[in-house]
Each structure stands twice: as C-alpha cells, then as structure tokens.
C-alpha cells in the first residue's frame, strides 16, 4: 500500500448547492460534519451520498422490513447478504434474489435492462452459485402512450441480449401495462443459482492484512451516482441523466463468472462482493461492516479505461462486470493467475485493517477517511409519517348496480383476451433463450417455470407476481394477494414454496400517503407469509418511482421459489385430452373491484380488491399440491386477470398443440359478468380423468377446500352454458397475436 503523505489532493469546494446535488439534506450534512469532527472533502461527500441513499441504506424502509418473517426450516441465508439461500437437499442450495433497475431502464432501456440482468447474476455467482435461471417483472405505461413501444422493445432486447450471451436461460416473468407507469417504468430482474452447501461464499472482509483484490473489467465514468439517481424522483430533466446509466458487456460477465467459480474451488478466498450500486465504495464498505473490520484502498492501482479519472469518479463509478474480493495473505498470485487465464484484471488495490475505517489514498495522498459504522449501521434511519389519504374512501366505492351488465359476454371475453395484460406474452419470451444449459422443464407461459436440478430427481419452480391495482385500492389486501398468488402459481405446477424474494416499488417515501401504502403492503405480505409458511430471504426496495410529483401504483413484486420432489410430476395449465373432467377448487364470489374487466370494459379502477381468507387459500393450494403429488391432476391453472372466463380460455388455447374446447356449466346465482370475469381469489381450475374424481374429493374434503365439477374437455368451442359459445381457434388467434399487433402499430405510429 502507498504510504499516506502530508500532501493534499486538490478537491472541489463544497457549498449548499453541491450538498443538495448529492441528494443530502442540510440536516444530513450537519450529521456528517459531527461524525467526522470536520467538514468532509468532496470525495467523502460523494461516499456519504451514495451510502446514505435510499438505494443503499434503506433508511426509510428498515423499520418496516423488520416485520417480515425471514426464518424457515430451509433457510440457510436470509436478508443482509448478496442473495438469499435455501436448502434443497442432496447437499445443494438454491441462491436467489430480485432487484430493480427502474430509472436506468427508463432513461436508456437497452443498457438499463441489460445491466439489471448482469447485476443480479453477479449477486448470485458471488455466493458461489452457478446461475441457472432468470426471470423479470416488467411494468410499462399504456399502449397508447407514444414511448411505450420504444421502451418495451428496448427493455426486452436488453434482457435477451445480455442473458442470451451469458448463457443463463430466461424462463419466465410477468408483463403489465398501465397509465400509472407512463413516465416511470419498472424493470425488476430475478436470478437463481445452484450451489454446494459446503461451498457458499459471503461478502465479508476479515483477517487483518489480507489483500483486497479488484477483478474483472476496467473502471470508467459510466454509472457515476447511479445509486443516488435511483433514490430520486424523475422530472423533465431526467433524460439528461444518461451518463448515470451503466454500460454492460455480457461477454466479460461470462469470463468473470467462470473465473470466480474456478477460484471458489480452491482455498484462496475469504470473501467476495459484486461492485453494484455505488461501485467500489459500497463493496468495500459493506464487506468491512460484515467482517467487523476496516479497509484501506489505493485508488492509484485501480484498473482504468479512461484517463484522468479522479478519486471521486473511481470510488463512485458503477462500471459493470467488476468484483472486489478478499484473498488469504500470501495467496494473491494464485488468484491473479486464475483471472489472467480468463483474460481479466486482478490487481491488489488494498488490504483489510484493524481500524474500523474506510480509508482511500490516491497518488500517496489520503482522499477519504470515514468510520465504517457511519456509512452502514449508524446511517440515518427515518420513521417517516404515514397517513391514509382521504381519497381512499372514494376510490373504494363501487356500486355494482350502477354498472351495466354487457349483453354479449362472448364479445367481452374476446376483448379481454386482446388486452395486453391478458394476451400471450410469446412475442417477449421468444426473444429469450430459455433452453440453454438444458435444465428447463416448463417454459415461459405457464403459471410457474420449472427447471431440473441436475444429478437429482428434483425440480425447482419459479414464479414472479404482483397486482398493483389491488395495492392501489387497498395496499394491505394487495400485499396479501401478491404473496398468495405467487404461492398459488407454484401449487399449480406441483411445487411447495421454500422462500421468496421481493422487489418493493413505490413513490417518494417523503409523502405520507406513499409511506402508508408501503407500511400496509408490508403488513399484508407479513400476514400472508406467516400463514402460508413462506419466509422472505432477500429483496430490494425501490422508492422515488414518481415523475413530476405523480407516483406509480404501489407495486410489490414477489418472486417465489418452490421444490418439486419429483420433477417428472410437474403439471401445466392447458387441457390435455377430450373427456377429462374440469373441476373448480375454491368458490366463485360476486366481486369486480380492481378487475381487468372493470378497467378494459368500463374504464374504471375502483372498488376493493377480491376478498381473501388465507386459511381457504392454504386449503386450496394444499389440495392441488397433494393431488398432483399423487398423480391425479392432468392440468392446473390459477385464476387471475380476467377471472374464470379468461382462465378457461387459456386452458383451452395455451398449449403447444391444437386448441381444445371445453363445455362448462356454472351454478352460482350472481351477475353474469362477475361469474365470468370477477377475480375471486383462492381458485384453481384443474382437469383429471373421471375415474380420479373420488380421490380428489377425498383430498379436498380433508384439506377443507370447496370443490365442484363444472365441465368436461372436448369439442372445438369454449362453451359456458348458457352465457358463451366461441370457437377456440378464433380465441387463440386473438390471444396469441395481440401484443405483437399492438407493438407494430405503435412503432409505425
């Protein structure tokens, strides 16, 4: 390490405008002065700015996140590390996490989405896991908004371009359109990897004198203050922030992945951390905090791809495909040889120290000296005011008697199948490689993706879900429903949940109404997780998703991972054979609040979300699971947007073979549109052989789940007597081509 001399490195002066431009309040700046016992220099101000940002510090969300259950029988690592880890047996572990890349993707859709994929993959292989699957949750504005086609095309291309090159299959996800995202899209990326339980690595800097080694790509000026930007609301000036968007190189990422996994086979490594948000600063600081140590960096040694970079720029750059690792003293050359073989930089840039400080030098001059605790455990935490808005009462008022029932329900079903929120997403996922590594068993388009765990008879199911309209109307219930639907999706393929990762996307935490939404969603998720037995093992909070003072809908996305003891027992949503019986697990209710039908047909987002009883939800899920495990069920499909009508259509038309008809009769006495298009929860449509009906009845009765036989598979039409009779080939044509037709129209326009 370079010795610290008495010479001073020239730094820009600091004034009130400079402090404000770093996203720090006057009060926070005074706290910094008090901590240091002096005025910070410009570089130190930058370090505090990124480490105290919402993106890195969780300063507004910490008090609420503590309420979520994080323990469970399978949990090996909960929140606090690069990713969560659950035990999947056979000496193996599943490592997974979801994160947001919202603001960068709006400013530069291709690179924003691509680097979101790259970043989440690094979080996974940093833990010693080989990534085996990716998913994404995407939210865009209305299709009539002029930027939506451009943003959609760029984001999808970025996800596919990066993931396909790295060789990690994108096996599923979700896509939703709503005007609330016109000026603030959401791009949430999820990745899962498989690791040996005995070879799991963590982001810790320990062992005084051990070397800090920078590995991977060189550092440039891209991404500087990306963490700070992610902690700010958008405005008309946001387009000018392109320099804060990182640029990714998937080919370098692939080399980095293989080099890291090779290194992890040996005995050189103490800790390792991705240089993600806040770059070298956050990786060094967070590793030191976890290791209860300090770090000293010589920034003159950092590999650079641009001349004249300042210490400030080096520390805050968010250039991609970089890692910081701690190697055992005397083993540095072994590390360097491995990375040189993969044509990657591996440079000793610092060391672990006893003094619990973050110290950085440049050209022999000290440019930063800050207590580690000041940047981590002692960073500001705010109990922000939370207040239910008065407008919520009016929002929840919905008088069904004042809503005219449509006469042609068949026309309504076709209209819903043509809605971009319901229509097939094939245009999106056919741009992704979902077969690479040959583990994929159930591809995109089902309730959940399924991948094979090689070397075992097991499989992992993965899904991502969340309905922001429900959270807008009632955030507590919306939080419950996000968790419940994700777990239901797993049940439909035959998997039992092991854990979840969440990405919580909200407006400004400085708004009491937003904090009320956030706190209510957390409470709902907590209650659902406890009742359904699903721990939260990792996640991310993304605040300041608003533009010119208008926030997005509160949008918690839930990615859930489940285990199939026998992967060959997986189930898909589409009907299999004529003559199979169609059964409804759960019960229909007369409710239309927050439904896709209400929005598409009546132009309304009002009412309350569907009622849910978590005990009933558990009973329905367990009935479906046990029946699948016993080999009774031939198809299973969750009911979500569009209700029973859309679910029946999807069961008929979503399969890889020719569409197959179904005849159904509904007995409930209620409005016809509510019967067909209401989105009542805790419902699953299953099909099975007639001879297995008695066995299913036994299972459902034992679990306490309502069950009724509603129809039979067969013919060329979807018939819901006496309401609908439509040719399934026509429905498939509408559903399968809708998204591409709209996109092409938008791009031409």
- Summarised one tens digit per residue, pLDDT across range 482-491 is 999 999 999 9
DSSP assigned state of 184: S
Q: Is the predicted pLDDT of residue 191 greater than 50, yes or no?
A: yes
What mean pLDDT do residues 640-651 have? 97
Among 121-130, 219-228, 392-401, 656-665, the least confident range:
219-228
Q: Which tokens go with 126?
A: 């940093």
The Cα angle at residue 384 between residues 381 and 389, in degrees rounded to 5: 160
- Identify the residue whose tokens are 């701690």: 326
Distance CA 228, CA 130 (A): 30
Phi, psi at 13, each rounded to 5°: -75, 160
What are the strands, taking DSSP E only, across 81-168?
A: 84-89, 92-100, 130-140
What are the strands, taking DSSP E only, across 380-455?
A: 440-442, 449-452
Q: Judge whether 425 and 739 are in contact, CB under 8 Å.
A: yes
Q: Is the predicted pLDDT of residue 506 greater than 60, yes or no?
A: yes
DSSP assigned state of 446: B
Decide: helix, strand or coil at residue 58: coil
pLDDT of residue 437: 63
Q: How many CB atoms lie within 10 A of CB 538?
A: 27
pLDDT of residue 276: 83
- What is the 3-state composition of the chain as percent helix, strand, coil, each rounded to the nearest 5? 40, 25, 35
More confident residue, 670 or 5: 670
Strands 550-551 and 365-371: unpaired
Strands 684-688 and 724-727: unpaired
Q: Is the predicted pLDDT of residue 59 greater than 80, yes or no?
A: yes
Confidence at 2, pLDDT banded by 50, 70, 90: very low
Q: Is the predicted pLDDT of residue 9 greater than 90, yes or no?
A: no
Question: What DSSP assignment string belongs to 608-656?
Answer: -PPP--HHHHHHHHHHHHHHHHTT-EEEEEE--TTHHHHHHHHHHH-SS
Q: Which tokens go with 716?
A: 């060329």
Q: Judge whether 86 and 74 are in contact, CB under 8 Å.
A: yes
Distance CA 216, CA 182 (A): 36
Phi, psi at 549, each rounded to 5°: 85, 0
pLDDT of residue 271: 96
DSSP assigned state of 314: H
Distance CA 568, CA 217 (A): 41
The torsion of the CA quartet 225, 231, 235, 237, rounded to 10 degrees, works out to 0
Q: Is the predicted pLDDT of residue 364 greater than 70, yes or no?
A: yes
What are the strands, taking DSSP E only, across 412-505?
A: 440-442, 449-452, 459-465, 496-505
Q: Which tokens go with 252?
A: 């370098």
Percent of the chain residues past pLDDT 90, beyond the cut: 89
Q: Cis bond leading into 347, ω under 30°?
A: no
What are the strands, taking DSSP E only, across 201-306?
A: 211-216, 269-274, 294-298
Q: Judge whether 295 and 287 are in contact, CB under 8 Å.
A: yes
Distance CA 355, CA 334 (A): 27
What mean pLDDT do residues 609-619 have? 97
Average model confidence (pLDDT) across the chain: 94
- What's the start-to-end Cα distance of the chain, in Å? 59
Distance CA 670, CA 676 (A): 10
Distance CA 595, CA 643 (A): 8
The torsion of the CA quartet 222, 298, 365, 33, rounded to 10 degrees, works out to 70
Distance CA 619, CA 585 (A): 9
Distance CA 382, CA 58 (A): 9
Q: Is the predicted pLDDT of residue 211 greater than 60, yes or no?
A: yes
pLDDT of residue 278: 86
Q: Judge whether 527 and 475 are in contact, CB under 8 Å.
A: no
Q: Is the predicted pLDDT of residue 246 greater than 80, yes or no?
A: no
Q: Judge whether 560 and 365 are in contact, CB under 8 Å.
A: no
What are the strands, taking DSSP E only, across 101-185?
A: 130-140, 170-177
pLDDT of residue 241: 47
What mean pLDDT do residues 711-727 have? 96
- Which CA distances in Å does 363 have to 4, 357, 481? 9, 19, 56
Phi, psi at 116, each rounded to 5°: -65, -40
pLDDT of residue 244: 60
Sheet hosting strand 92-100, strand order edge to edge: 75-77, 84-89, 92-100, 186-196, 130-140, 170-177
Longest dimension (CA), the chain: 88
Rounded to the nearest angstrom, the gap between the alpha carbon of residue 505 and the centroid of all alpha carbons in its chain is 10
**What is the per-residue burial (b if ≥16 Cβ within 10 Å, else e) of 607-618?**
bbbbebebebbb
Distance CA 628, CA 492 (A): 8
Distance CA 124, CA 501 (A): 13
Handedness of CA 268, 75, 254, 347 (dihedral sign): negative
Sheet hosting strand 633-638, strand order edge to edge: 633-638, 684-688, 581-585, 707-713, 662-665, 717-721, 724-727
Which contiguous run of DSSP H or E holds residue 186?
strand 186-196
What mean pLDDT do residues 368-385 have? 96
Q: Which tokens go with 42?
A: 């410009």
Q: How many CB atoms lie within 10 A of CB 377?
A: 9
Q: Is the predicted pLDDT of residue 314 greater than 90, yes or no?
A: yes
What are the strands, taking DSSP E only, across 27-116?
A: 75-77, 84-89, 92-100
User: For the CA atoms of the chain, what is the radius of gyration?
Assistant: 26
Confidence at 8, pLDDT banded by 50, 70, 90: confident
Q: Which of 597, 611, 592 is nearest to 478 (CA)?
A: 611
Q: Which of 426, 422, 460, 419 is nearest to 445 (CA)?
A: 426
What mean pLDDT do residues 121-134 have? 96
Strands 130-140 and 92-100: unpaired
Which positions are annotated as active-site residues? 55, 101
pLDDT digits (tens, 9 = 90+) for 550-606: 999 999 999 999 999 999 999 999 999 999 999 999 999 999 999 999 999 999 999
What mean pLDDT do residues 447-462 have? 96
Strands 357-362 and 294-298: parallel
Q: Is the predicted pLDDT of residue 3 greater than 60, yes or no?
A: no
């Amino acid at each position: 390490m370079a010795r610290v001399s008495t010479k001073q490195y020239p730094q820009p002066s600091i004034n009130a405008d400079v402090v404000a431009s770093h996203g720090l309040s006057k009060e926070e700046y005074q706290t910094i002065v008090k901590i240091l016992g002096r005025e910070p220099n410009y570089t130190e101000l930058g370090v505090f700015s990124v480490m105290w940002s919402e993106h890195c510090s969780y300063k507004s969300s910490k008090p609420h996140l503590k309420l979520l259950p994080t323990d469970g029988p399978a949990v090996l690592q909960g929140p606090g590390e690069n990713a969560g880890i659950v035990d999947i047996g056979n000496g193996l572990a599943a490592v997974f996490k979801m994160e947001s890349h919202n603001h960068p993707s709006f400013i530069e859709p291709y690179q924003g989405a691509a680097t979101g994929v790259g970043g989440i993959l690094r979080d996974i292989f940093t833990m010693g896991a080989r990534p085996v699957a990716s998913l994404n949750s995407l939210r865009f504005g209305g299709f009539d908004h002029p930027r939506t086609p451009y943003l959609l095309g760029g984001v999808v291309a970025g996800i596919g371009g990066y993931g396909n090159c790295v060789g990690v299959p994108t096996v599923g996800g979700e896509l939703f359109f709503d005007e609330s995202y016109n000026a603030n899209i959401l791009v949430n990326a999820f990745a899962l990897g498989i690791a040996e339980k005995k070879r799991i690595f963590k982001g810790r800097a320990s062992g005084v004198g051990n070397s800090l080694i920078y590995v991977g790509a060189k550092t440039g000026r891209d991404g500087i203050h990306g963490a700070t930007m992610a902690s700010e609301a958008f405005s008309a000036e946001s387009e000018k922030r392109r320099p804060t968007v990182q640029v990714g190189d998937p080919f370098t990422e692939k080399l980095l992945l293989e080099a890291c996994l090779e290194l992890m086979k040996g005995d050189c490594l103490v800790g390792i951390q991705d240089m993600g948000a806040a770059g070298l600063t956050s990786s060094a600081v967070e590793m030191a905090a976890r290791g209860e140590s300090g770090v000293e960096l010589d920034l003159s040694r950092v590999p650079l791809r641009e001349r004249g970079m300042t210490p400030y720029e080096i520390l805050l750059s968010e250039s991609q495909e970089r890692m910081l690792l701690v190697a055992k003293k005397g083993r540095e050359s072994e590390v360097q040889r491995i990375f040189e073989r993969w044509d990657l930089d591996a440079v000793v840039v610092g060391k672990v120290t006893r003094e619990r400080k973050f110290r950085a030098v440049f050209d022999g001059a000290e440019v930063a000296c800050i207590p580690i605790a000041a940047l981590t455990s002692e960073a500001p935490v705010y109990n922000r005011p939370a207040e239910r808005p008065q407008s919520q009462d009016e929002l929840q008022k919905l008088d069904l008697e004042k809503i005219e029932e449509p006469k042609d329900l068949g026309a309504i079903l076709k209209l819903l199948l043509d809605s971009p929120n319901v229509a097939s997403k094939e245009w999106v996922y056919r741009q992704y490689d979902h077969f690479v590594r040959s583990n994929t068993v159930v591809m995109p388009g089902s309730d959940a993706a399924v991948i094979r765990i090689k070397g075992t008879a097991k499989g992992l199911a993965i899904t991502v879900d969340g309905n922001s309209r429900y959270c807008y109307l009632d955030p507590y219930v919306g939080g419950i429903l996000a968790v419940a639907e994700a777990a239901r999706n797993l049940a439909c393929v035959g998997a039992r949940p092991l854990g979840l990762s969440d990405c919580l996307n909200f407006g400004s935490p400085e708004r009491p109404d937003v904090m009320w939404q956030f706190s209510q969603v957390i409470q709902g998720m907590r209650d659902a997780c406890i009742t359904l037995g699903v721990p939260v093992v990792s996640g991310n909070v993304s605040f300041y998703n608003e533009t010119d003072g208008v926030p997005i809908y509160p949008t918690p996305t839930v990615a859930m991972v489940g285990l199939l003891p026998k992967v060959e027992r997986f189930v898909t949503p589409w009907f299999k054979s004529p003559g199979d019986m169609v059964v409804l697990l759960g019960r229909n209710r007369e409710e239309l609040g927050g439904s896709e039908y209400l929005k598409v047909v009546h132009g309304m987002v009002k009412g309350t979300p569907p009622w849910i009883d978590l005990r009933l939800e558990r009973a329905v899920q367990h009935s479906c699971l046990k029946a699948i495990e016993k080999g009774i069920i031939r198809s299973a499909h969750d009911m979500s947007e569009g209700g029973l009508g859309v679910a029946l259509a999807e069961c008929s038309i979503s399969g890889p073979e020719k569409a197959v008809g179904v005849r159904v009769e509904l007995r409930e006495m209620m409005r016809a549109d509510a019967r067909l298009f209401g989105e009542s929860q805790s419902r699953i449509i299953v099909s099975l052989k007639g001879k297995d009906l008695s066995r299913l009845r036994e299972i459902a009765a034992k679990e306490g789940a309502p069950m009724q036989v509603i129809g039979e598979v067969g013919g060329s039409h979807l018939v819901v007597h006496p309401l609908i009779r439509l040719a399934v080939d026509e429905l498939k044509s509408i559903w399968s081509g809708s998204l591409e037709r709209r996109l092409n129209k938008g791009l031409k326009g």
